[in-house]
C-alpha cells in the first residue's frame, strides 16, 4: 500500500464496510458468520480511535439487528445501529418519495425495516389496489403467485425498486445466487420496467451510511468504502467521490480487469496492510 493511500486511511472521516467476502463469510447452512483474517482487529482499531464506521451488506435475508448479532457472535464490535441493509436505505427513500404503499417481494427480514418505518407493507402475493412501489429483495420462497401479484402492481403504475441487482455474492461454500437479480429479470421482462437500486451501489445507500455515521454529504471525499465486489462497493465509492479498498477475498480476483468506474483506489489480498496503515497512525 502506498503512502498516499495509507494517509487517506488514517485521515478518513468514516468507513463503510461490506460484510460477505470482506470482513466475514456467511455459512449458508448454519446462517452464522466467520470472521476473515484481521477484520476484527481493523474494526477494533477504528472503534478505539473513535472513527465512525458502518457495515452495509447488500443482503436482505435478515433484519439489520440480526446481522449485527451474527457479527458480534463472530467477535466483531458492531452495534445494531451500525448495521445497514438495502432495506434500511429503501425505507428512508420510499418514505421521502411518498411511496408508502409497498408490495415487498421479500421475506420477513427484508420487509422488517419498511414495517419499522411505518410504511404500508403488502405481502408478496396479497391482493391490493393502489400499490405505489414493488420492492424486491431476498426471497427464496418466490413463486408464480408473487410474480403475478408483482406484475399487476407494476402494470397498475407502481415503481419497481430493488435491494440489489447483482447475480452473485460470496459465501463460505462458494458463490451463491442473489435472489433479487432473477426476480428483477422476470419482472422487467413482463413489464418493461427497470429496477431502481436502493442498496449498493446507489447514492441512496451511500448517503444513508453517511447519515447513520452523523456525517454531512460534504464528507464524501473523506469516506473509505471497503469491499470485495467492484460492481457494488467500488462503483458506489467512485460515483460518490469517495475512496475504496478492494479485497480479493470474495467475488473479486486480484488480477481482475475492471472498468474505470469499478476500480478500487487500492486492491489488497487481505486486510493486513490496511490494519498496519491504521495502526501506524
Q: Which residues bind Mg ion (CB under 5 A)?
A: 18, 20-21, 228-229, 250
Q: How far is the CB of 19 from Mg ion (least distance, A)?
A: 7
Q: How far is the CB of 247 from Mg ion (least distance, A)?
A: 9
Nearer to Mg ion, 124 or 233 (CB): 233
Q: How far is the CB of 13 from Mg ion (least distance, A)?
A: 23
Nearer to Mg ion, 54 or 160 (CB): 54
Nearer to Mg ion, 160 or 234 (CB): 234
The CA distance from 223 to 131, in Å, is 37
Distances, alpha carbon 242 to alpha carbons 114, 142, 190, 205, in Å: 28, 36, 37, 13
Nearer to Mg ion, 14 or 21 (CB): 21
DSSP-derived pairing of the beta strands 168-171 and 174-177: antiparallel
| Number of residues in the chain | 281
Q: How far is the CB of 249 from Mg ion (least distance, A)?
A: 9
Residue facing Mg ion at closest CB distance: 21
Q: How far is the CB of 20 from Mg ion (least distance, A)?
A: 4
CA angle at 155 for the pair 60 and 62, rounded to the nearest 5°: 10
Do residues 234 and 267 lie in contact, with contact meaning Cβ atoms separated by under 8 Å?
Answer: no
C-alpha cell at 146: 408473487
The CA distance from 194 to 228, in Å, is 25
Nearer to Mg ion, 18 or 187 (CB): 18
Amino acid at each position: 500500500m502506498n503512502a498516499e493511500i495509507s494517509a487517506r486511511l488514517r485521515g478518513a472521516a468514516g468507513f463503510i464496510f461490506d460484510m460477505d467476502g470482506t470482513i466475514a463469510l456467511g455459512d449458508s447452512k448454519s446462517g452464522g458468520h466467520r470472521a476473515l483474517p484481521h477484520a476484527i482487529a481493523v474494526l477494533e482499531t477504528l472503534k478505539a480511535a473513535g472513527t465512525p464506521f458502518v457495515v452495509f451488506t447488500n443482503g436482505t435475508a435478515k433484519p439489520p439487528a440480526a446481522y449485527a448479532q451474527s457479527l458480534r457472535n463472530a467477535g466483531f464490535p458492531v452495534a445494531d445501529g451500525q448495521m445497514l441493509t438495502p432495506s434500511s436505505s429503501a425505507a428512508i427513500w420510499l418514505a421521502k418519495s411518498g411511496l408508502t404503499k409497498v408490495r415487498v417481494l421479500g421475506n420477513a427480514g427484508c420487509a422488517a425495516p419498511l414495517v419499522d418505518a411505518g410504511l404500508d407493507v403488502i405481502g408478496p402475493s396479497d391482493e391490493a389496489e393502489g400499490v405505489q412501489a414493488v420492492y424486491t429483495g431476498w426471497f427464496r420462497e418466490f413463486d408464480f403467485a408473487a410474480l403475478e401479484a408483482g406484475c399487476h402492481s407494476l402494470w397498475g403504475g407502481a415503481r419497481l425498486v430493488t435491494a440489489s441487482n447483482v447475480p452473485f455474492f460470496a459465501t463460505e461454500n462458494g458463490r451463491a445466487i442473489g435472489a433479487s437479480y432473477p426476480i428483477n429479470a422476470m419482472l422487467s421482462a413482463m413489464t418493461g420496467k427497470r429496477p431502481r437500486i436502493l442498496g449498493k451501489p446507489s447514492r441512496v445507500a451511500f448517503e444513508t451510511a453517511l447519515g447513520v455515521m452523523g456525517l454531512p454529504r460534504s464528507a464524501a471525499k473523506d469516506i473509505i468504502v471497503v469491499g470485495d465486489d467492484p460492481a457494488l462497493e467500488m462503483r458506489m465509492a467512485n460515483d460518490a467521490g469517495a475512496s475504496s479498498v478492494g479485497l480479493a477475498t470474495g467475488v473479486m480476483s486480484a488480477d481482475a480487469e475492471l472498468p474505470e468506474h469499478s476500480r478500487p483506489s487500492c486492491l489488497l489480498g487481505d486486510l493486513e496492510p490496511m490494519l498496519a496503515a491504521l495502526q501506524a497512525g
